[in-house]
Structure 1
Amino acid sequence: MNKHLFTRFYFALLIMAVSCQSSSKENSNDSASSNDSTNGQSIKPIESSYADVNGLKMYYEVYGKGKPIVLLHGSFMTIPLNWSHIIPLFAKHRKVIVAEMQGHGRTREIDRPYSYEGMADDVSGLLKHLKIDSADILGYSMGGGIAFQMAVRHPEQVRRLVVLSGSYKHDGWWPDVEASFATINADMFKGSPIEKQYDSLGNDPNHFQEFVKKVMSIDLKPYDWSKEVINIKAPMFIAIGDADGIKYEHALELFRAKGGGKMGDIHGMPKSRLAIIPGTTHIGMMYRTDWLIPMITDFLDSDLNTTPPTF
């Protein structure tokens, strides 16, 4: 990836962080740090605490009432950075569970390598802690990989799966994007909201470089979960941007394996769904709420009748 291209990618991360930060409270030590407003009404978590799972004290928040949905954030993100503008949209009709993964935000680092599998086990442990038998799982970017592994490793806990801009094998990214992962380091986040929130949430600033290195480690080694992901029983909604870092073919390959690629008027509709969002980048995916929330809600609420219509 050339220097100018990476610079654009890096500043896109910062723009995302700044935008999310501006819609969340500046006091990051407040347990209601994901406060936002919708229709002039403030929204606060009905529960915020720590769950003891797999050696972690995992920070989580719960909002709203109804069928549970778990939101899994992207790399370097926290609850307020990734979800402050999205929580109120789901919390109108659902119980929304948000957590911070290993080393992120208020979930402190432990002596354990980062892995999608390990973080999926942590999410499973959180659901058990909350006494929730199964939930809809929504993951973005890194969270999408965690969501895939959650459905592979803990299928009984996953009702439906939503993956936004996520991959299930390392070469699901465009080649220049995959090549860029090895160049990302802590110096590139100097003075950014990502670094500032890392510090303000009580983490040791001297460990920020180690944190960035550990987060990137999960994408620096080859992985391919194709066989396992194809066998996931839970219906899935896959969404990528038309200018995403994820290859079209990557999403299409999975969608075809899940019954897509056929005329629904003849063969019936597949239980899984695919969306390629126009005019949308990897970072920009999180700002297409006007399009994504209705599509995701329709998917989660649908009875997924696969029978072709009769005339």
Structure 2
Amino acid sequence: MNKYIIKGYLVIIIAMAIAACQSAPKEPQHEAVVTKDSTAGRTVSPSDTGYAEVNGLKLYYEVYGTGKPLVLLHGSFMNIPMNWGQIIPRLAGTHKVIVAEMQGHGRTRDIPREIGYEAMADDVSGLLKHLRIDSADVLGYSMGGGVAYQMAIRHPEQVRRLVVLSGTYAHNGWWPDVEASFAAITGDVFKGSPIMTEYARYGNDTAHFNDFVKKVMSADLKPYDWTKEVKNIKAPLFIGLGDADGVRYEHALELFRAKGGGKMGDLHGMPTSRLVILPGTTHIGMMMHADMWIPMVSDFLDSDLSTAPPAF
């Protein structure tokens, strides 16, 4: 195991957390943040906040904007302001944006239950029922991408369209060195970082921080493979990753081909699903390059995805 790979991976996570924390105002323990898009100067406040009691969990959520419902699912160790603080204002103008903090993250307290993709998907399903939303578009990033896949597998009737950014549907979807690094990630490497600061800011006991990190990482330390299930997902799918991501290109391509890709659209018509590989973009950089993927995702969510006829 290359210690420099681990160190580089952690440094970029912490850098992302620092940038996110600097851009988002500090708030009291249970008060929703007013998010700001620094690129356009827009600020938005939530129209609804609260806790949904689902599956023995009090799941914290916020709702912004109006329009078609769009659920955003954050990555490992993140919370709403850290992952979505600069992104919510850019989507809330055209969508009803629903953001939640997964088990043990942010303002959602942990419970005596494993942290797993299936359970978190069931929690999101319960949140939509709590909000009386029949179906929504679901966008997941990294860990949230796995939750998004499981939402479409376990609760297909609640998913209109699916967006997965830098997420995998099998444990070997990561590059081998990335997958091997997961076992070395503990709470010690985050000591003094914004990730630990955010953990404490929401009232969590830092004495349990290492247990929290280990519990989150446990979801990726157990082999999983949903290849068969994701290929049968009926919802149109947008797959996004960076050209320097932790996700293997072949992993994304295999699913895209199963969803109708891999053919010349001028001859055979366009598939209802889409694939994008962003240039100069790492796994963590996916959130930093939102200016590239937000227009693509918005077009995907808003477009008529009827298969286009051949051009000639």
**What is the TM-score when the length of structure 1 is the normalising length?**
0.98
In structure 2, what residue type is equivalent to 1:127?
L
Q: Does 1:243 align with 2:244?
A: yes
Following the alignment from structure 2 to structure 1, what is the Cα–Cα distance between the partners of residues 148 and 42?
31
In structure 2, what residue type is equivalent to 1:296?
V
- C-alpha change, 1:310 and 1:3, in structure 2 (3 Å) is closer
Give unmatched runs, 5+ long, in structure 1: none
Following the alignment from structure 1 to structure 2, what is the Cα–Cα distance between the partners of residues 129 and 104?
20
Alignment of 1:175-254 (within 5 A): 175-254=176-255
**Corresponding position of 2:14:** 14
Structure 1 residues 28-51: Cα deviation after superposition (integer angstroms, max 9, x where no partner): 525222522464443111111000
**Corresponding position of 1:29:** 29
Following the alignment from structure 1 to structure 2, what is the Cα–Cα distance between the partners of residues 246 and 85?
24
Give, in angstroms, the shift of residue 25 of structure 1.
1.1
Deviates more, 1:167-176 or 1:36-45: 36-45
Alignment of 1:53-202 (within 5 A): 53-202=54-203
SS in 1 for 2:276: strand
Structure 1 residues 210-263: Cα deviation after superposition (integer angstroms, max 9, x where no partner): 100100001001000000000000000000100000000000000001000000
**Corresponding position of 1:290:** 291
Deviates more, 1:111-120 or 1:40-49: 40-49
Give unmatched runs, 5+ long, in structure 2: none
Following the alignment from structure 2 to structure 1, what is the Cα–Cα distance between the partners of residues 100 and 25?
17
Following the alignment from structure 1 to structure 2, what is the Cα–Cα distance between the partners of residues 51 and 25?
24
Structure 1 residues 46-101: Cα deviation after superposition (integer angstroms, max 9, x where no partner): 11100000000000000000000000000000001100000000001110000000
In structure 2, what residue type is equivalent to 1:139?
G
SS in 2 for 1:111: coil
SS in 2 for 1:219: helix
Structure 1 residues 171-213: Cα deviation after superposition (integer angstroms, max 9, x where no partner): 0000000000000000000000000000011111111111001
Following the alignment from structure 2 to structure 1, what is the Cα–Cα distance between the partners of residues 34 and 241?
25
Deviates more, 1:203-212 or 1:179-188: 203-212
SS in 1 for 2:221: coil
Instruction: Give the % identical residues.
Output: 67
SS in 2 for 1:187: helix
- C-alpha change, 1:34 and 1:176, in structure 2 (3 Å) is farther
Following the alignment from structure 1 to structure 2, what is the Cα–Cα distance between the partners of residues 176 and 40?
39
Following the alignment from structure 1 to structure 2, what is the Cα–Cα distance between the partners of residues 234 and 111?
33
SS in 2 for 1:218: helix
**Corresponding position of 1:263:** 264
**RMSD across aligned C-alpha pairs, in angstroms?**
1.1
Following the alignment from structure 1 to structure 2, what is the Cα–Cα distance between the partners of residues 223 and 277?
26
SS in 1 for 2:209: helix
**Corresponding position of 1:308:** 309
In structure 2, what residue type is equivalent to 1:163?
V
Following the alignment from structure 1 to structure 2, what is the Cα–Cα distance between the partners of residues 182 and 250?
21
